């Protein structure tokens, strides 16, 4: 059977970033403005005053120090508090496709491939900017790729689910070479006016080339095994969608943006992910001690510390479980791939690791790889 491999990877990082201090200053100005406008209702007990955010709390609670965004001014404007991304004509590349081409080009360059050598493009992301035509098909056209393309949404787990789909098709012989690309504009579905979550997300795009190991032109990562699992939960949810215009009272509905019950997510997802990785290792004949590195979904440092300790049976040593969320924040499906892209080049031939992403659904996907 054909052994699939990751032969290239790339990351598009926006030019603009927002520090915790900048974010908190904007949020607190918005809170003061809202409290002043609703002073009578607050005094009458009909509304609750907004409380200030705090940069030190954000870092201690999440490990996040800053985040990259496509638009900074709109997010930091207390009168707006969401990004400004002008609509583009249909003939122009979409926002997601544009960032995807950048990441894909970097991945193709690493793999030593051209766009016309790709016969599958999977756009795997937590949101897509339109219903159709598929963003993946637009990316396919812009890259000059052949074959076919489709969009995939498994929220934060989209990258690993996409890699499994690509690897399975390569094993089966239905495609020769694939791109799995994750353009995440998380700033557009984040409620920046909600103190509980306004610091969580950032924008980015990642891409990986997946092809038969025998076709690799240089260093690559063998994909020994993949595994995906889902379990329905409302604890991470976004109700936006094409039925939005059919609903009454749609003015600024909070549930049309990212929502989560953080306490329940911690309690339920962490055991699910830890067990998933350990079961996957066991089914593949690997031991936890075989893992030289864990590239985990970048949502929260405390979550990753828990998972790493549970999987390895000890506190991970420095470098074993790299975090990038201090700079990027939570970038949904792209986070584990950023960690892999930035913290895998130093590993020797024969080194092993797991790429694992998890999130809404609930969903969890893992990819066991070996440097070759």
**HSE-CB of 276 using CA atoms within 13 angstroms:** 26
Nearest-CA neighbor of 197 among 250, 153, 253, 236? 236
Structure-block tokens of residue 258: 């990212």
Cis peptide before 362 (omega within 30 of 0): yes
Nearest-CA neighbor of 136 among 90, 167, 178, 187? 178
Q: What is the pLDDT of residues 46-103, one digit of tens each?
A: 999 999 999 999 999 999 999 999 999 999 999 999 999 999 999 999 999 999 999 9
Structure-block tokens of residue 267: 């309690």
d(CA 54, CA 43): 25
Rg (CA), the chain: 21
The Cα-based distances of 127 to 184, 193, 271, 358, 372 in angstroms read 7, 20, 26, 15, 34
Q: What is the pLDDT of residues 206-218, one digit of tens each?
A: 999 999 999 999 9
Structure-block tokens of residue 4: 């699939």
Cβ 209 vs Cβ 111: under 8 Å? yes
What is residue 252's predicted lDDT score, i.e. its pLDDT? 65
What is residue 261's predicted lDDT score, i.e. its pLDDT? 81
CATH code linked to domain 222-371: 3.40.47.10
What is residue 249's predicted lDDT score, i.e. its pLDDT? 67
d(CA 163, CA 106): 17
d(CA 326, CA 361): 25
Nearest-CA neighbor of 24 among 254, 185, 198, 257? 198
Domains of the chain: which residue ranges?
222-371
The Cα-based distances of 85 to 252, 294, 330 in angstroms read 18, 35, 20
- Known catalytic residue at 156: yes
Cβ 180 vs Cβ 208: under 8 Å? yes
E strand spans, 91-176 = 120-124, 148-152
Mean pLDDT by 10 residues, the chain (372 residues): 96 98 98 96 94 95 96 97 95 97 99 98 96 97 98 97 99 97 96 92 98 96 98 86 73 74 86 97 97 96 94 94 96 98 96 97 97 96
What is residue 250's predicted lDDT score, i.e. its pLDDT? 62
DSSP-derived 3-state class of residue 24: helix
Nearest-CA neighbor of 359 among 153, 139, 99? 153
Cβ 278 vs Cβ 370: under 8 Å? no
Report residue 306 CA to chain centroid gap. 19
Beta-bridge partners for 201: 330
Q: Which residue of the set 104, 123, 156, 356 is catalytic?
A: 156
Classify burial at 218, counting beta carbons within 10 Å of its beta carbon; exposed 0-12, middle 13-18, buried 19 or more: exposed
Helix ranges (H only) for the chain are 20-37, 39-43, 55-62, 73-76, 95-111, 135-143, 158-172, 262-284, 301-312, 325-328, 335-342
Cβ 288 vs Cβ 278: under 8 Å? yes
Nearest-CA neighbor of 108 among 163, 172, 180? 180
Structure-block tokens of residue 294: 């864990």
């Amino acid at each position: 059977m054909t052994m699939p491999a990751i032969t290239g990877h790339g990351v598009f990082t926006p030019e603009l970033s927002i520090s915790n201090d900048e974010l908190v200053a904007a949020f607190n100005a918005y809170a003061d403005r809202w409290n002043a406008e609703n002073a009578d209702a607050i005094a009458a007990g009909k509304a609750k005053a907004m409380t200030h955010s705090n940069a030190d709390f954000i870092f201690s609670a999440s490990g996040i120090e800053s985040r990259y965004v496509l638009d900074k001014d709109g997010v930091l404007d207390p009168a707006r508090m969401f990004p400004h991304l002008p609509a583009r004509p249909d003939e122009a590349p979409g926002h997601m496709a544009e960032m995807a081409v950048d990441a894909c080009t970097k991945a193709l360059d690493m793999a030593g491939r051209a766009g016309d050598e790709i016969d599958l493009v999977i756009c795997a992301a937590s949101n897509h900017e339109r219903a159709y035509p598929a963003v993946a098909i637009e990316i396919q056209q812009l890259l000059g790729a052949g074959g076919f393309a489709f969009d995939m949404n498994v929220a934060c787990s989209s990258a690993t689910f996409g890699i499994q789909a690509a690897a399975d098709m390569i094993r089966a012989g239905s495609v020769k070479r694939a791109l799995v690309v994750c353009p995440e504009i998380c700033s557009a579905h984040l409620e920046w006016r909600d103190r509980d979550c306004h610091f969580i997300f950032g924008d980015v795009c990642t891409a990986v080339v997946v092809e038969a190991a025998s076709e690799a032109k240089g260093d690559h990562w063998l994909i020994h095994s993949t595994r995906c699992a889902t379990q329905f939960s409302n604890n991470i949810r976004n109700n936006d969608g094409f039925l939005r215009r059919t609903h009454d009272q749609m003015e600024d509905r909070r549930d049309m943006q990212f929502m989560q019950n953080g306490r329940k997510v911690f309690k339920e997802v962490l055991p699910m992910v830890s067990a998933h990785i350990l079961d996957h290792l066991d089914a593949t004949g690997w031991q936890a001690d075989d893992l030289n590195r864990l590239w985990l979904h970048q949502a929260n440092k405390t979550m990753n510390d828990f998972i790493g300790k549970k999987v390895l049976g000890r506190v991970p040593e420095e470098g074993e479980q790299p975090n990038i969320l201090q700079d990027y924040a939570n970038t949904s499906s792209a986070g584990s791939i950023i960690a892999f892209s930035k913290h895998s080049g130093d590993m020797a031939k024969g080194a092993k690791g797991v790429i694992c992403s998890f999130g809404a659904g609930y969903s969890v996907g893992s990819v066991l790889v070996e440097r070759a």
